[in-house]
Amino acid sequence: MRKMDKSGLLHGVWVFGDYRNYFQNRVTLQLIAKSRELAETLGTRVTVLLLGEALHRYAMEYIAHGADIVMVAEHADLRQYQVESYTSVIARWAEAFKPDILLGGATSFGREFFPRLAKRLKTGLSADCVNLAVDPDTGLLVQTAPAFGGNLLAEVVTLHRRPQMATVHPGIFNELPHNFDAVGRVVYPGIEVEADMKVRVLRSRRQQARGGNLEDAEIVIVGGRGMGSKEEFRLLFELAELLEGEVGATRPVVLAGWADEERLLGQTGKTVKPRLLISIGTSGALQYTTAIRGAKTIIAVNRDPQAPIFKMTDLGLVGNGSAVLPLLLETLRKRM
Ligand SMILES: Cc1cc2nc3c(=O)[nH]c(=O)nc-3n(C[C@H](O)[C@H](O)[C@H](O)COP(=O)(O)OP(=O)(O)OC[C@H]3O[C@@H](n4cnc5c(N)ncnc54)[C@H](O)[C@@H]3O)c2cc1C
């Protein structure tokens, strides 16, 4: 494999191509857009890694969205994601072609196999990054990630080991528009899929999405622990229906069983960028607010005037959510 890359064509910035549920799952396209920026600063190329079967159409999509090269591993044993086989193929490619940077989405896949990959390649990994940039003086990748339990954001650099690895939440970066005139290369380096895998996928079934289109919603209503009960929380669904929006939740709400995990926003959940976000009974912990920073307008309701959420709102209402919500619903119903 080494011979193929005498030109250093494949060094640059690599992005793991997660093409599952392509039209809803945009994290790879978002990472390609960010990688373009990084690669242009570094004077290098963006390569997307594609593993599976019948991958040509995804390769074309990634090139149209900014990839210079798509590196493909087509094999029946890679048809379904499997942590050992995916780690093994990408680790071998990385050892052979020596990328400078390797990025993936902080999705269920990325969270599972990127730490293994980093261990295999004996390099560092910044998980759940909220920003990436190249330091203009050193050329190092600056990985901004929550640290110390998520209470502050740290800027991490990998000084000596390569690749510099990071996972990034979906929704943090914007994808580039589809460019029908884009030209790129598709390469098929050799692959070896290990025969004695410890885990074998027998069957997989698609789960019905319950969080709706939260990440693309124009209006998002979020409820926190301050909603008080499951019954009160249900009122948020009525409000979302009236406003044609989606409902999000903080972690205590999901832990209490008032909302499904698919609705979780934050460091360990989804990121949103709506036109309007209404946050009721949420204190404004950093682990939650990282997910809503991209909202254009934020309105919050909290009975505590000192609640940190008010530091980032366009309009803050100090009051009892259980009293404000029925009033809001009544007013909206009258107007519709
Ligand atoms: C590693 C790590 C990762 C984490 N990841 C996430 C994550 O992804 N997402 C997430 O959400 N959290 C996450 N957390 C938890 C996070 O730190 C906070 O604990 C959580 O976001 C708080 O949720 P909350 O605002 O609903 O509840 P609380 O912090 O309990 O706040 C409730 C708020 O409601 C107000 N209130 C109470 N009653 C009323 C009322 N009647 N009317 C109006 N206001 C009222 C209170 O004044 C208070 O400000 C994480 C924590 C760690 C350590």
Q: What is the DSSP string of 286-328?
A: HHHHTTTTT-SEEEEEES-TT-GGGGG-SEEEES-HHHHHHHH
266 lines ligand 1 (CB under 6 A): yes
Report the length, in residues, of the chain: 336
Q: Which helix (H) or strand (E) holds 232?
A: helix 230-243
* Encoded tokens for 300: 């919050």
> Is 207 part of any domain?
no
287 C-alpha to ligand 1 centroid (Å): 9
Buried residues in 244-278 as b, exposed as e (16+ CB within 10 A)? ebbbbbbbbbbeeebbeebbbbbbbbbbbbbebbb
Q: Could you tell me if the CB of 231 is within 6 A of ligand 1?
A: no
Last residue of a domain, one of 152, 187, 222: 187
CA distance 249 to 144: 24
Residue 111 is assigned to a structural domain of this protein = yes
208 found inside a domain: no
Tell me the per-residue pLDDT of 29-86, one tens digit each, with 9 for 90 and over.
999 999 999 999 999 999 999 999 989 989 999 999 999 999 999 988 888 888 889 9
Flag whether 194 is in a domain. no
CATH number, domain with residue 111: 3.40.50.620
Q: Assess whether 152 and 297 both reside in one domain.
A: no
Distance CA(309)–CA(286), nearest Å, equals 9
Q: Are residues 127 and 237 in the same domain?
A: no
133 and 35 within one domain: yes
Which of 128, 229, 303 to mutate to test ligand 1, by most ligand atoms within 8 A of the CB atom? 303
For residue 151, the CA-to-ligand 1 centroid distance in Å is 13
Cα dist. 110→17, 44, 97, 106, 151 in Å? 10, 24, 21, 5, 23
Instruction: Name the 3-class secondary structure at 213.
Output: coil
Long-range contacts, 132-137 (Cβ 8 Å, 24+): 132/34, 132/38, 132/103, 132/166, 132/168, 133/38, 134/38, 134/41, 134/42, 136/41
**pLDDT at position 5:** 54
Q: Where does a domain end: 169, 187, 205? A: 187
Is the residue at 84 inside a domain? yes
Mean pLDDT of 206-222: 78
Termini Cα distance of the chain: 65
Are 36 and 165 contained in the same domain? yes
Residue 209 lies in a domain: no
Residue nearest to atom 12 of ligand 1 (CA): 251
Please identify, among 135, 170, 187, the residue that sits at the C-terminal boundary of a domain. 187
Q: Is 200 within a domain?
A: no
Q: Convert the pLDDT of each residue in 322-336 to its tens digit.
A: 999 999 999 988 876
Atom of ligand 1 nearest to the CA of 322: 41
Q: Is there a single domain that holds both residue 144 and residue 109?
A: yes
- One domain for residues 246 and 293: yes
Q: What is the pLDDT of residues 7-26, one digit of tens each?
A: 667 789 999 999 887 776 78
**Token pair for residue 313?**
């709102």
Residues 155 and 20 in one domain: yes
pLDDT exceeds cutoff 90 at 142 = yes
| pLDDT > 70 fraction of the chain, expressed in percent and rounded | 94
**Contacts of range 201-208, beta carbons closer than 8 Å, 24 or more positions apart:** 201/80, 201/81, 201/82, 204/80
Task: Tell me, in angstroms, the distance from the centre of ligand 1 to residue 284's CA.
Answer: 7
- 27 CA to centre of ligand 1 in angstroms: 26
Q: Quote the number of domains for the chain.
A: 2
Over residues 145-181, the pLDDT tens digits come to 988 776 788 999 999 999 999 999 888 899 999 998 9
Same domain, 166 and 239: no
C-alpha–C-alpha distance, residues 155 and 166, integer Å: 12
Residues 165 and 141: beta-carbon distance below 8 Å: no
128, 233: one domain: no
Q: Which domain holds residue 257?
A: 214-335
Q: The domain that contains 231 carries what CATH number?
A: 3.40.50.1220
Please indicate whether residue 317, judged by its CB atom, sits closer than 6 Å to ligand 1.
Answer: no
Asked if 164 and 285 sit in the same domain, the reply is: no
What separation in Å is there between the alpha carbon of 262 and the centre of ligand 1? Answer: 17
Whether 102 and 244 share a structural domain: no
92 within a domain of the structure (yes/no):
yes
Report the separation in Å between the CA atom of 223 and the middle of ligand 1, taken as the mean of its atom positions: 9
Cβ–ligand 1 contact at 307 (below 6 Å): yes
- State in Å: Cα 76 to ligand 1 middle: 45
* Same domain flag for 183 and 226: no
CB-facing half-sphere around the CA of 257: CA atoms within 13 A = 0
